Amino acid sequence: MSKRTANALRYKYPLPVHPLVLPELIVHNPISWAVWLYQYVRQCNALAERISVTITPEGNAFPHIEVRDPTDMMYLWDNGFFGTGQLSRSEPTWFERKQLELSKDTVGGGKQLSLEQITRSRRQQRQEFKQQREKVEAELLALRQQGVITPEEESKVLEREREKLRAYRESHSSLKELPGDDTSLPDDIFDDEGNLRRLEALELLPVEALFLTYALPILDISPKELIDSIISSDDPAALDRLLMHYTAYHHYRSQGWCVRSGIKFGCDYILYKRGPPFQHAEFCVQVLDSEDSKPYTWYASTARVCGGASKTLILCYVTRNSSPEQTRRWAADGKLADVLSSMSVGEVVYRRWVPGRNRD
């Protein structure tokens, strides 16, 4: 099975909502009606048990919202790409990776590299290539300084060295596993029977957790409880910020985008059409209060970072149509629907435009 079909099967559902599958209804066969009715009544797509979240430390300004059960972690990742593995790049794969690494001595080579290993080995390769290139340049410079080289000779040498570098790169093009940097494993990652412990948890963003308890109630916590435990009551500004960011998050999720944190690109969210395994994110979203204005250099640098990663910057302005006090009261009473209906969202695309380069 190709990687693409495997992914399409694995990430079949864009959200943790699965449609019911009913048997075929044959009009002239009353037995099929019965089966159909039975199935209709019996089937249920709610989770058997709600997903448990742990919030640590309680009452802190920077809480961690964690899901620790391995099945739940995978469920949240597979159905809408929620959360980030604390010891992984995004998908919580630390346990599998570590186990593979540990089994290396017994099973032997010929195994698949994890994404994290691929990144590491690519970086290493690039580094080595750069060192080679630097060496060549230094040699050339030395020759030039001695004055023993004519321009024609120099271009010949340059061509030869370039050829060499190309050959070097090709010979190293296959990715190979690097020796792990943690060869001496600490003992406490194993339990008493010598099995690897599951140390990794899936960490949810506050807005993700709110979405999973308010919009799609699958967490074992109510929206009100969640807000109370992640926002301290003496910081109204933090609550305002959370509600504003949640409005934007909910907006994009309900339009079918896969929304993940954009911290890598210096903005609030990045939008994927389907999800990280399928394609790169196309858009960076910065959530702004419609009352705020930022210094010019802020726009310029954010746009340049996004542009450098070939993404389009979207300035998402959230307008509050009721007083902040009213909004906070609603949030305190757990009436998020009222909060959301009192907000409106408007977007502006910020893009660098050069007349000579943007004609097509």
Partner 1 sequence: MSVCITLVGGAGTILAPLVFDVEAIKKLRTLGICGILTGTLPSATQQNVFLSVPLRLMPEEAMWLYINGHAHFKALPGPTATAVERLLEEESEEICKAAEERLQQSFKLQREYKLEQHRKKLEQLGINQPSKEDHPDSARQSKETKLMEASLFIETPTMSTILTKINDKFGDEQAKIDRLLCILVAQFSNWDNYLLFQALKNEGYVLSPGARFGGKYIAYPGDPLRFHSHLVIRDALHYKNEPLDFLELAAGARLGTTVKKLWVIGAPTRESDAHDSAKTQDNVSFYSVEWAGFG
**Scanning the structure block, which residue is given the tokens 């993404």?**
311
Distance of alpha carbon 80 from alpha carbon 11, whole angstroms: 8
Residues 98, 245, 251, 311: which is the catalytic one? Answer: 311
Looking at beta carbons only, is 71 or 358 nearer to partner 1? Answer: 358
Looking at beta carbons only, is 39 or 124 nearer to partner 1? Answer: 124
8 A C-beta contact, residue 281 and residue 311: yes
Looking at beta carbons only, is 209 or 287 nearer to partner 1? Answer: 287
Closest separation in Å from C-beta 359 to partner 1 = 12
β-strand pairing of 312-320 with 283-289: parallel
Distance of alpha carbon 247 from alpha carbon 232, whole angstroms: 20
Looking at beta carbons only, is 39 or 121 nearer to partner 1? Answer: 121
Closest separation in Å from C-beta 281 to partner 1 = 15
In which element (H, E) is residue 4 found? Answer: helix 3-10
8 A C-beta contact, residue 289 and residue 244: yes
| Cα–Cα distances in angstroms (integers) from residue 295 to residues 21, 265, 273, 300, 359, in the given order | 54, 18, 31, 9, 29
Closest separation in Å from C-beta 295 to partner 1 = 8
Looking at beta carbons only, is 116 or 225 nearer to partner 1? Answer: 116
Looking at beta carbons only, is 98 or 245 nearer to partner 1? Answer: 245
Q: Kindly report the three-state secondary structure assignment for every residue of 8-55.
A: HHHCCCCCCCCCCCCCCCCCCCHHHHHHHHHHHHHCCCCCCCCECCEE
Paired tokens of 45: 């797509």
Closest separation in Å from C-beta 287 to partner 1 = 10
8 A C-beta contact, residue 345 and residue 321: no
Closest separation in Å from C-beta 335 to partner 1 = 30
Looking at beta carbons only, is 245 or 320 nearer to partner 1? Answer: 245
257 CB neighbour count, 10 Å cutoff = 22
Let me know if 18 is a catalytic residue: no
Closest separation in Å from C-beta 103 to partner 1 = 27
Let me know if 272 is a catalytic residue: yes
281 CB neighbour count, 10 Å cutoff = 25
Enter the DSSP assignment of 265. G
Let me know if 111 is a catalytic residue: no
Angle at 198 between CA 197 and CA 202, to 5 degrees: 165
> Cis before residue 57, ω within 30 degrees of 0?
yes
Residues 264, 272, 273, 294: which is the catalytic one? Answer: 272
Residues 280, 296, 335, 350: which is the catalytic one? Answer: 280
Closest separation in Å from C-beta 78 to partner 1 = 28
Which amino acid would we find at residue 102?
L
Cα-to-chain-centroid distance, residue 182:
25
List interacting residues with partner 1 (CB under 8 A). 123, 126, 263-268, 295-298, 300-302, 304-305, 308, 354-356
Q: Annotated catalytic sites, by residue?
A: 272, 280, 311
